[in-house]
């Protein structure tokens, strides 16, 4: 049995899947398996996978489309490793990433969720000069609810025991357990992380370094904000009964952080109206982000004002040479 399993959900990713798999196969830590879950692709994804069919380190599973959460659940069910990592099929792991996380988990038996920072790249794989640099230590459920320090789903490696502890099977499921909630098509990550934090004693802890290259898809960011916000609110409604006092204390501030994040996404997409709306709503819900993270909050407010009254050209000048996207 391998020490680690790497799960790669794949849906219509023919353009990037080969690069992702090549990076995973080049990991310096060699005791691993890769499980690619083709989630009902209709492009050339299967053709790309055929090039790797003879590699014994890979297992390829094909299923009808069940979404990202469903692909991950299928991968977890098939995984044999003691540690399980995820890499979306358009992201890249640095060569030493798996080794760093395996060592972290082996050296810290109370840590169940290991993660690291990520550098950001564009659709074409070009570095943006930006990074997600998350909080690494003393992570509480409140931190996860408000700021999700893991950052993205390709940044994390988790003990198998953690998933065993949160497994459940809805009545509609006849084949395997669920770990991620497949009724979510957005916010499935934070729903799972928060459920772990609220129902188990496992520690979330990060390691130094930017060990994932995370792809930012250009365009259409603001168009998805309504759906993303709706999914986030549904996540709150689902989990609130687990710990009513916790959610009563932290939901307003967390909602303000979520609005600020969506405002920043709208700024990145140069959607002045949406950015202004989200920034205004964030400030109206709670001022906690302003006091807890004043620089980032004031930067968001300033960029929103420049975009609204000066236009995209003025914002482009202001943001050179570095643009904040999260």
pLDDT at 124 over 80: yes
Return the minimum-mean-pLDDT range out of 6-20, 112-126, 280-294, 306-320: 306-320
pLDDT for 137-148, tens place per residue?
999 999 999 999
pLDDT at 324 over 70: no
pLDDT for 256-314, tens place per residue?
999 999 998 888 888 999 999 999 999 999 999 999 999 999 999 999 999 999 988 88
Q: Which is more confidently placed, 139 or 186?
A: 139
Dihedral of CA 184/242/205/177: which sign? negative
Residue 268 is predicted with a pLDDT of 81
Average confidence (pLDDT) over 165-178? 94
Summary mean pLDDT of the chain:
93
Return the minimum-mean-pLDDT range out of 77-81, 117-121, 240-244, 261-265: 261-265
pLDDT at 198 over 70: yes
Share of the chain above pLDDT 70, in %: 96
pLDDT for 210-260, tens place per residue?
999 999 876 544 457 788 899 999 999 999 999 999 999 999 999 999 999
Domains with residue ranges and CATH for the chain: 4-215 (3.90.550.10), 222-319 (no CATH)
pTM for the model stands at 0.91
Residue 323 is predicted with a pLDDT of 42
Residue 34 is predicted with a pLDDT of 98
């Amino acid at each position: 049995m391998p020490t680690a399993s790497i799960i790669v959900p794949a849906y219509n990713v023919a353009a990037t899947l080969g690069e992702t798999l090549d990076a995973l196969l080049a990991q310096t830590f060699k005791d691993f398996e890769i499980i690619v879950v083709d989630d009902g692709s209709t492009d050339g994804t299967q053709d790309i996978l055929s090039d790797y069919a003879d590699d014994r380190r890979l297992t390829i599973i094909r299923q009808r489309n069940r979404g990202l959460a469903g692909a991950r659940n299928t991968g977890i069910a098939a995984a044999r490793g003691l540690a399980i990592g995820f890499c979306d099929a358009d992201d890249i792991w640095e060569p030493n990433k798996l080794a760093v996380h395996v060592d972290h988990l082996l050296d810290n038996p109370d840590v169940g969720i290991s993660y690291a920072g990520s550098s950001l790249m564009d659709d074409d794989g070009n570095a943006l000069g930006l990074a997600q640099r998350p909080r690494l230590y003393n992570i509480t459920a409140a931190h996860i609810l408000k700021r999700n320090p893991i950052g993205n789903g390709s940044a994390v490696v988790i003990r198998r025991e953690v998933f065993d502890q949160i497994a459940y099977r809805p009545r509609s499921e006849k084949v395997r357990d669920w770990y991620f909630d497949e009724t979510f098509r957005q916010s499935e990550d934070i729903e799972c992380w928060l459920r772990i934090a609220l129902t188990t004693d496992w520690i979330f802890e990060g390691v130094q370094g930017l060990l994932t290259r995370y792809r930012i898809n250009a365009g259409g960011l603001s168009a998805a904000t309504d759906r993303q916000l709706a999914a986030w609110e549904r996540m709150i409604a689902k989990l609130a009964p687990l710990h009513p006092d916790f959610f009563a204390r932290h939901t307003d501030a967390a909602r303000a952080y979520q609005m600020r994040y969506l405002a920043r996404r709208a700024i990145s997409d140069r959607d002045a109206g949406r950015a202004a709306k989200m920034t205004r709503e964030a400030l109206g819900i709670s001022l906690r982000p302003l006091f807890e993270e004043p620089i980032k909050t004031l930067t968001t407010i300033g960029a929103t004002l420049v975009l609204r009254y000066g236009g995209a050209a003025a914002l482009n000048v202001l943001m050179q040479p570095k643009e904040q996207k999260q």
